[in-house]
Amino acid sequence: MDKKNTIIGVALLLAAMASFYFSARLAPPAPARPPLITPSGNPLAKNEAPLAGPASSPSDAVLTAGKSASSTPAEYVTLTNDFLEVKFTNHGGAIDSIGLKKYLAEQGKPALYTLNAQQIAPALSLTDFPGADLHTAYTLVSQTPTEVVYRTSSDGLEVTRRYSIAKVVGQDDYQVRHETTFRNLSDKALPLPRAIFNLGTAAPLSENDLGQYLNAGYSDGKDTTFIQRSELEGGGLLAMVGAKDGTPAKYIERPSSIAWASVKNQFFSVILTPDQPGTGVRVERVKLNLLAPDTDRRAYGITNYAQFDLKPLAAGASSTFGANYFAGPKEYKRLSNSDVFKHGEDKVMQFDSFFFNKIFFSGFFAPLLLTIMTWIHSGINNWGWAIILTTLTLKTIFLPFTLAASRSSKRMAKLNPLMQAMRVKYKDNPQKIQSETLRLFKENKVNPVGGCIPILITIPFFVGFFSMLQSASDLRFASFLWVHDLSAPDTVGHIFGLPINIMPLFMGATMIFQMRLTPTPTTDNAQATMMKVMPWIFTIFCYNFASGLALYSTINGLFTIGQQMVINRMPEPQLPATAGAPGATGGTGSMKNVTPKKK
């Protein structure tokens, strides 16, 4: 690497950061939401619904056709348990909203965080199903403390919708059990349209949330796919989907076997897990705040529709669609419980959703770190201290590797003067330089990449921590010292409109001090300059990241500084004689001591 390459590398990094910043502001406005259209002839797999369903009374056959929801006011019923407050509506016989009793909407205020509070449709409402969709006012058939049943009929078809929050074996506290039974009241076979269920609408968490974590996902039982809201925005430097003129995509429809489907924001998700696999999903970006400018990303949410093919019903026959509907926090410990979530629903955490996460094995390190940290938290009940103790535990475990790498760096630094002199002497003979360099390394038992081991060890854990903080709801509103929310920047004020975040400054200071203490295992001035500049670039890049990540990096840096100060006070390495090397006088005594001075 020379100075030119260094400048180019820094310029590309700054350009990437600028692209993230400006693409969020230059996307074109979105058009009005298109009506949901399910193209005919779509090559979706067929699905046969179970034939068992709720019992019906003898008078069911004489129910009149359901009223139009637009002509009648909505009627609501609420079921509660220790975790959920589920509000049902007769419009579509579906879920209007779900309040989470363990989570607040805003820190310090009593209002619950509510899923589907801003919506394009009631959750689990049928779409494009004449006489039984969200435009139909269902009749409330029965209600108990744990169950509610709605029913409607039209053109010889009776539709009964049953919801239960009763605690049963194999069902999570945040799950609602749902069954929709289709019954043919006529004396001839009755074809059924495709059943398309709206999963709910995911909205930004706050007025400061630009919605970068909003997405919809689905799994075919083996592979998991997520569709980001940004894929529907069109235009912008990072646009992935859209028309050639840069306008937003109207929708994204994916035919696939559906083991589960989801829609979520950064910390909360809804997941529909059907008893039988579905046939596809349809994802739309929807404007929730109609008064906001079309260019304001905070005004948009995302919704997902899960599709299921239904077979025709014989005269008097019935079939039932059954599913578990999870509506709650993205807690890895909960979602990884295979006794309840049997189809890999924990993938909704998206620990390794991006290529950068994959190459550093975040799919392994992120859940490992979260599991360790959750275990430590169970004993001290403070997430800040849990991060600190987790970091110290990891540093202690990897201490032998770090010490070995530090010794290698010191030995490499001792050889730098000899290598510089050798390059001057043999500047016209690259092959000689290479052979002499290898001889020096071999005779003095130096591994030229040994000093990189601490970085190679640290990076996967850092990326894992970052990935974990992007998904886990555990740190939301968790306070520590002056930090009010470890999942967000620790902004304490503003100067000229710019936020003042303290923890990233501590992180940067520790990185800079650590860099000055550590011997530089290179004779390349450009590389040495790059290593000195990287802490500054890294601080800027991480300035607005979650304060929990900065806390982890700061503690990691403080431990490394203390460790390096101890190493620097250790006796200098005694290298074998290097007779024949340029600049040598027959022993190590002529070598320049480049180890930082003891302090």
Long-range contacts made by residues 80-87, C-beta under 8 angstroms, separation at least 24? 80/165, 81/146, 81/165, 81/167, 81/173, 82/173, 83/173, 83/174, 83/328, 84/165, 84/173, 84/174, 84/176, 84/327, 84/328, 85/112, 86/163, 86/165, 86/176, 86/327
Do residues 390 and 468 touch, judged by C-beta distance below 8 A? no
If one compares 560 and 201, the residue with the highest pLDDT of the two is: 201
pLDDT surpassing 90 at residue 453: no
Cα separation values, 497 from 75, 210, 292, 296, 491, Å:
46, 18, 22, 19, 12
Q: pTM of the entire structure?
A: 0.76
Average pLDDT, integer, range 387-392: 92
Look at 136-140, 472-476, 560-564, 583-587 and tell me which has the smallest mean pLDDT.
583-587
* SS3 call for 269: strand
Give me the pLDDT at residue 464, please.
84
Identify which of 99-113, 416-430, 507-521 has the greatest average pLDDT: 99-113
- Beta strands 224-228 and 252-258 are unpaired
Amino acid at 146: T
Q: In whole numbers, what is the pLDDT of the chain averaged over residues?
A: 79
| Per-residue pLDDT at 212 | 86
Q: What is the CB neighbour count within 10 angstroms for residue 540?
A: 14
Digit-coded pLDDT (tens) for 112-137 = 999 999 999 999 999 999 999 999 99
Helix and strand element counts for the chain (H, E): 11, 21
- The class that CATH gives domain 17-53+65-330 is mainly beta
Q: What percent of the chain has pLDDT over 70?
A: 78
**Stretch among 141-150, 228-237, 281-290, 294-303 having the lowest mean pLDDT:** 228-237
- Residue 84 binned pLDDT confidence (cut-offs 50, 70, 90): very high
pLDDT, position 96: 96
Task: Tell me the DSSP string of 133-175.
Answer: STTEE-EEEEE-SSEEEEEEEETTEEEEEEEE----TT--TTE
Q: Is the pLDDT of residue 345 over 50?
A: yes
Rounded to 5 degrees, φ, ψ at 555 are: -65, -40
DSSP codes of every residue in 62-123: GPPBPEEGGGS---EEEEE-SSEEEEEETBTTEEEEEEEEEEESSTTS-PEEEETSS-SS-B
pLDDT of residue 591: 41
CA 301 to chain centroid:
16
Query: What average pLDDT does this structure show over 495-500?
Result: 84
Cα–Cα dist 9/200, whole Å: 43
Residue 32 in this model has a pLDDT that exceeds 60? no
- How much of the chain is helix, strand and coil, in % rounded to 5? 35, 25, 40
Q: Note the pLDDT of residue 253.
A: 94
Q: In whole angstroms, give the CA distance from residue 269 to residue 263.
A: 6
**Sheet of 76-80, strands arranged across:** 76-80, 84-89, 94-104, 112-115
- What is the domain partition of the chain in residue ranges? 17-53+65-330, 368-571
> Quick one: pLDDT at residue 13?
46
* pLDDT reading at 558 higher than 70: yes
Under a CB-based contact definition with an 8 Å cutoff, are residues 252 and 45 in contact?
A: no
Report which of residues 66 and 508 the model is more confident about. 508
